[in-house]
Structure 1
């Protein structure tokens, strides 16, 4: 199961074990059970603190639990092989069970340990999903911290009948005590917020006690990370409040045009961004959504950002980097069948449609790339483009047209997504020139039609927005309000690219620096008067 390099890497990691751990497998007679036995035996051979047994009696086969030998009540179960993107999750589960401390704030660990009640989590993942590891690792940590929390992590490919029976058509998918709990990427703090009703109020109270910042960055993507680092390096007190650190980069798989790095992946880059931020004295406030902006009344005054949890943050200068999100189709059936056939991440959810027919909506780079990726997994792909021609780069179009299981529809307006009440069964489209309507039978629809700027919270703030809802900025990244700057996909800057966002974030930070050093604080102006 493990090649020589992986074995050596794992052996090095297992050197950090502080206590013995046990691997207990429940196996059948299938090929995956054989692979599971081989994997656990290989792991056990790498360190004396690891033992493997095969007398488990769980109904899910193959599956295995990881537990600390001295505390069998704290365990996590993997149903299927945690390889691919989940190999890191397996390594962390082994280390945490063996007493190696996780890189999580003690306050968060205490909150997990203090949870009352019984929590039986079941979570479905795919080996190609780049959002799943965060959820797998969050539930693993919780289960190994609190004996009242159980976590069973299920690889969909190894348990297809279960996936079908539960209508799991998008991963990561989390069930709690047998009922749907959440879909999508989540960390420990987000899961805790859903479980602990008082968490938001406590967080708001704590945040409201913070001192005012010289610069507050709102948004944690590439633009926000660059802005926070640049202002911190100037010696300014800097805070960064983000709905999720990493922003939309977290939803991006392969990145091949980040200069100096031939290839990387979104989650990896997002982790690097956050790691770089934490190298500086920056107050990082994750999982915080901005709800309202109250600009300063005069130059040098304090701008106020009100968060969704009720907390209020103030700063002399703001850098707004709230980014953008995937645009919805806005047709009947899209909302009703979201996560039941309607999807937005081909890398995450594509494997769930193996052997089935799907559609991709959108003929730009994202749509064509999605169609190419899916064509290698599913039986058939229908690409639906509203325009009279595809808009993707020619090299991508050439690749797409070379595939034998792809149909391309242009001048095609998607009018409805149909289903049987449980899952998607088809798509209705109208030819924009003839008006003729047609139906395509399929099991999934992947929407890839561009971005919408996250600026709803700026309504009535006085910030100038374009007709598309973007923040209007000048060549110095300044908005129409003194002391407020903006950068990245949320602005009118052309070319929504990661590397462009980083440059714009840096520019906005330097402009904020220039503004602050040239503008006396309002209280000093008042004293002088």
Structure 2
């Protein structure tokens, strides 16, 4: 179950255990229980500080993670924490054994001050890149406060329970038996929400008081490229974003990045973030930017009445998936209508699903889902599939994938959750209905520029208009990536435009210094 590379990585982490850790296992008598038992036995064999005992827990199979001889940590894993949740498992081991979580004193005090019983349960999938943030945050809360417990439930292994709760998207968090939260969130946001406060992460006073040379708004490849280029020029650089990652997090494999045959989207963004750290870029995450005010310096306003200042600003907020805009889409969002096949795909194991969109993203989604779902139908509005030939060929080779062209989706149907999709054949006007349990929307992007208002020039599509140096109509403000009027939306193009904007900002700052001198 654990390959040699994973065992080697885990062995290195286990050397850091401060106190012995015991797993209490309730495997039950199912095949999945045997898999969980085998997983734990492989882990325990790697360190004398680990052991397994039998116990009785709420779910089978599941196990708790506790320091030997100490009070329960409150952390439970229902299923096998591999994939994206392997990091959550390792961090839980280290923190239960005595390593203090790397969080601010302010957040720690907030967690320790909670005096009511909070029992969290998070439905996650092992392929979900958003889930670990939530799982790890709630684990930290459990370790620090005896009033709090948290169970990570692997949706693929507990599919019947997920279906009983009508869970069609992850992460979904239940608090004391009631659905409480959906989607990505930071520790600060979850702590504030648990306390009944607005889910706004605090900004360190030393950061809000500083005037940066370059402040980059966004967390995708354009923002990362701009940050690295700015910092390498010796500029005081910061990145402010709700989270690092952007659109690449929703891409399993990237095969058109020049010089790199293949890389997963998450790995690419981890590499970029590591490079940002190397060049000492200040990362201000968990934040929502609400507006900016031109001037010298430029002021960037954040949700929660906090603001940041910079001599130049680069907007790289990217774009989000476009809605289909048909009846049923909003009603069944997270109840069968989804936008991330990698996150939510495992919840549709053995089911029929549809993908709306025949571009690269849609066909990639179909190929990904084909290994999970019973059948995948791809609906493309145009007369032909527009994805790259290599992707189209791969999809056509799969026996459980249909590519349907000239298909105009007219309605998503359901009763509490999605049960079908209706489309018109644009070549003859005939209407057809597909019996599906899920609909994945992949029909293009809308720039994330609503928050800008009319402070700078946007085109009819809401994209920021920029010149050859990435400059916008507002002095000292630049833009890059999918939020701009660039002709094509590609990772490599976003990276190039981020570099261009950074060089443009540097040139502006150099000229300002020359004038001052």
Secondary structure at the aligned position of 1:74 is classed as coil
Q: What is the CA distance between 1:20 and its match in structure 2?
A: 1.3
Higher mean displacement: 282-291 or 314-323: 282-291
1:198 Cα deviation after fit:
4.7
2:387 aligned partner: 392
For the residues of structure 2 that align with 1:19 and 1:204, how far apart are their CA atoms? 34
Matched, 1:329 2:328: no
CA distance in 1, matches of 2:431, 2:514: 63
Task: Tell me by how many angstroms 1:423 deviates.
Answer: 0.4
Q: For structure 1, which runs of at least 5 residues remain unmatched after alignment?
A: none
Partner of 1:495: 488
Q: How does 1:412-431 map to 2 (within 5 A)?
A: 412-420=407-415, 422-431=416-425
Residues 204 and 309 of structure 1 are in contact (CA less than 8 Å); yes or no, is this contact kept in structure 2? no
1:468 aligns with 461
Selected match of 2:434 from 427, 435, 440: 440
Equivalence for 1:265: 264
The Cα shift of 1:225 comes to 1.8
Distance 2:203 2:50 in 1: 43
Q: Could you say which residue in structure 1 is the equivalent of 2:313?
A: 318
Q: 1:385 to 1:200 in 2, by over 3 A?
A: closer
TM-score (norm. length: structure 1): 0.92
> Given the superposition, is the C-alpha separation of residues 11 and 239 from structure 1 closer, same or farther in structure 2, using an over 3 Å criterion?
closer
The residue aligned with 1:44 is 44
Aligned equivalents of 2:185 and 2:250: distance in 1? Answer: 12
For residues 253 and 313 of structure 1, do their structure 2 counterparts lie closer, same or farther at Cα, with a shift above 3 Å needed?
A: same
Is the contact made by 2:381 and 2:408 (CA closer than 8 Å) also made in structure 1?
yes
Inter-partner Cα distance in structure 2 for 1:340 and 1:194: 23
Match status 1:348 vs 2:343: yes
The match for 1:339 among 334, 343, 360 is 334
Q: Cα offset for 1:17? A: 0.5
Aligned to 2:352: 357
| Offset at residue 93 of structure 1 (A) | 1.7
Shift of 1:400: 1.6
Root-mean-square deviation (Å)? 2.3
Give the alignment of 1:127-206 within 5 angstroms. 127-198=126-197, 203=202, 206=205
- CA drift of 1:50 comes to 1.3
1:140 Cα deviation (Å)?
2.1
Name the stretch that deviates more: 498-507 or 104-113.
104-113
CA displacement at 1:193 relative to structure 2: 3.6
1:196-215 deviations in Å (ceiling 9; x for gaps): 44566782694895132222
Instruction: Tell me which of 393, 401, 416 is aligned to 1:406.
Output: 401
Give the Cα separation in 2 of the matches to 1:198 and 1:168. 26
Bigger drift between 486-495 and 431-440 goes to: 431-440
Matches of residues 7-46 of structure 1 in structure 2 within 5 Å?
7-46=7-46
Q: Aligned to 2:492, what secondary structure does the other structure show?
A: helix
